[in-house]
Structures are given as C-alpha cells and as structure tokens.
Amino acid sequence: MRRMLLAALLAGSLAFGSACGAGANSSGDSPNEDLTVIGMSQVGAESDWRVANSESMKAVFTEENGYRLLFDDARQKQENQITAIRRFIQQQVDYIVLMPISESGWDSVLQEAKEAGIPVILVDRMADVEDESLYAAHIGSDFLREGRLAVSWMEDAFREAEDPVRIIHIQGTPGSTAQLGRTAALEEGIAARENWELLARLDGDFTQAKTYEVMTEYLSSPSGRGDIDVVYCENDNIAFGALQALEEQGYPCGRGGVSIITFDATRGALTECLRGKISLAVECNPLLGPLVEEAVRAMEAGRTPEKHRYVEEQAFTGEDLTEALIEGREY
Ligand code: GZL
Ligand code: ZN
C-alpha cells in the first residue's frame, strides 16, 4: 500500500516536471513501484570510519538490488537527524535506518515512526530509548569490548612499570556509544591500578582538527609538560591529530616514546602502526551495509531480525601487520 501511494506521489511530481527526478531513471520510465524505499540518516563525514560506513551503505542499497535510498547527512547535529526522520515519515518510506550521533533524545521521533508503521534499524551506535520496541534491530560494535582490548594491551605493555603510567585520554563525541564504551573501559583500567595516572581528559570529538587544537593547547600549557606514557585516542582521526601535536611539541611517538592507542584501524592508522608510530589499533568495523540489508530482507520476508547484532573486531600491533595485509583491507 505504502509503495503505491509513494509511486503515485512520485508519478504526480513527474507530471509537474519536478526537477528532483527522484521518481524516474535516466530513460524517464515511470517510477519503479517495487523498489523498497530506505530513509537513511547518517551522522556526518567527521572521520575516515564514517566515510567508509556511508560507502558500505550506498554500495548495498542500490536500485539494482531493489532499493531507493534517501540518504541524509546530518553534519553531526542531532536536530538534523530528527528533521530527516520526520521527512522520511512524511514520505512514507518503507524503512528508516538511523546511525544515532548520541544515545539520548530519540524517544519521541522514534515513537512517531512507530505510529506511522515504519520499522527503524539502528546502526553503529545505540539509541538509549525506554521502549525497545521503538526499533526493530540494532547492528553495531561492542565499544566496551573494544576498550577492554586496549586496556589489556596496556596491562601487558606496562606490567613491569613501577613508576606511574601517565595517560592522556582524548574522547570522541560526548554521549555517543563509541565514546561511552571506550571511556568506560579506560576508567575500569585506571580504577584497578593505582600506578596508572590520568594526566588529562580532552574532547577530540572524533576529528583530527579538534584534537590537534586541544592537544596543542594542553601540551603548551604549564601543566602539560612532563612525561607522557600513553595517549588513549578514541578514534583514528583523534590519533592523527594527537600524533601531529605531540611530534610538534617534541614528544616522539612509538617504541621508547609515547604509546598511542587508537580505535577504528582504518588503513591510515594501520600504516602508522606498521611504521611504529601508533602502538595499538583496535578495529571498529564500518562495513555494516550488508548486515543492515540482511535485516531489511528478513523483515521483507515477514521474519523478525536479531534485536542486537555485534560485528567481530580485533586489535593490531605493528608485529601483526604487513603492507600486503593493509592493502588488502577494504577501508
Ligand atoms: C564507531 C563510530 C565512531 C568511529 C569514529 O562505531 O561511531 O564514529 O569510531 C566515528 O571514527 O566518527
Ligand atoms: Zn537491547
């Protein structure tokens, strides 16, 4: 029913020669009614991870695969995501796919989607909603587990250390599941070892520019001088910004210098890891498109998809890496 209505709407807009052309392909055929329409709200393009995640979605939700993808980039603002979801509801899309920028603030707009009978799939981070029936499925990473992989590496690397292990913690977007999980793991580690010392906690917002700015400011402040053993970066773009600031301020990174820990393990970070500049890269898999499409297919077939699906992830040090392995990775 919904598709017929949408097709009629599209046909209508065609009748008025609408510029959007959304309803017809290049040969001007009438809109193809049996495409499944996906309204997708993406956080933004703040990081290499995010770009790979968007590409993974666009590669699978194609017309050849039977989809019309309405893709919205929220430029890292939750209000833009909420506006996009309301537009998708008006357009009566078949499914809404939401990569929520932060965990809170989604209950009412997801309630509106539920009342419109449009299933919502949460991808990557989580939305912290009272009523779990507000989303049909969640597909993402276990960020606490990622953080614990990093903390156990730190335990091994600093097991013999008698004097304080001096740590700078640079966080991702405040309130995002990735930040919350990766932060919780480090806080567990620091609470469990009295010789682990937190020097500073900075907000890098998952971007290189912001991190370079806040790290340079910290390192050139009076309290910022002195030994640094570990910089715990909650994603690769934070690590790149920290690396640049550290080296500019005279802190060599890698063996014998500052140990940089990062999350995502994009090719750029793995290359720095192979070179020895980054000590540990914890993988966070952005290639979620196929898993999201699996959930859509399940619901199209009247089946109930898994409520929570977590992707497999590992951690890399320089010893685990070769040029060939890095080249062979998809992101
Ligand atoms: C993690 C994702 C995070 C990445 C960052 O799944 O939410 O957001 O770690 C990205 O690179 O910006
Ligand atoms: Zn749950």
Give the atom of ligand 1 at the shortest distance from the alpha carbon of 263: 9
Confidence of residue 161 (pLDDT cuts 50, 70, 90): confident
Q: Is residue 53 part of a domain?
A: yes
Predicted pLDDT of residue 92:
98
Q: Is residue 221 part of a domain?
A: yes
173's CB contacts (< 8 A; 6+ apart) are 46, 76, 101, 102, 179, 205, 206
**52 and 127 assigned to the same domain:** yes
Alpha-carbon dihedral sign for residues 323, 327, 328, 331: positive
Q: Is residue 306 part of a domain?
A: no
Q: What is the pLDDT of residues 41-62, one digit of tens each?
A: 999 999 999 999 999 999 999 9
Domain count, the chain: 2
**188 and 322 assigned to the same domain:** yes
**256 and 197 assigned to the same domain:** yes
Span 304-319, average pLDDT: 95
Predicted pLDDT of residue 224:
86
Given the structure tokens 């806040």, which residue do they identify?
Answer: 214
Report if pTM > 0.85: yes
- Per-chain mean pLDDT for the chain: 92
Burial class (CB in 10 A: 0-12, 13-18, 19+), 16: exposed
Q: Is the CB of 179 under 6 A from ligand 1?
A: no
Q: Is the CB of 277 under 6 A from ligand 1?
A: no
* 172 CA → ligand 1 middle, Å: 8
Give the atom of ligand 1 at the shortest distance from the alpha carbon of 125: 7
* 9 CA → ligand 2 middle, Å: 36
Mutate which of 206, 285, 288, 309 for ligand 1? The one with the most ligand atoms within 8 Å of its CB, which is 206
Q: Is residue 309 part of a domain?
A: no
Q: Is the CB of 264 under 6 A from ligand 1?
A: yes
- The protein residue whose alpha carbon is closest to atom 2 in ligand 1 is 178
Domain range spanning residue 248? 143-284+317-328
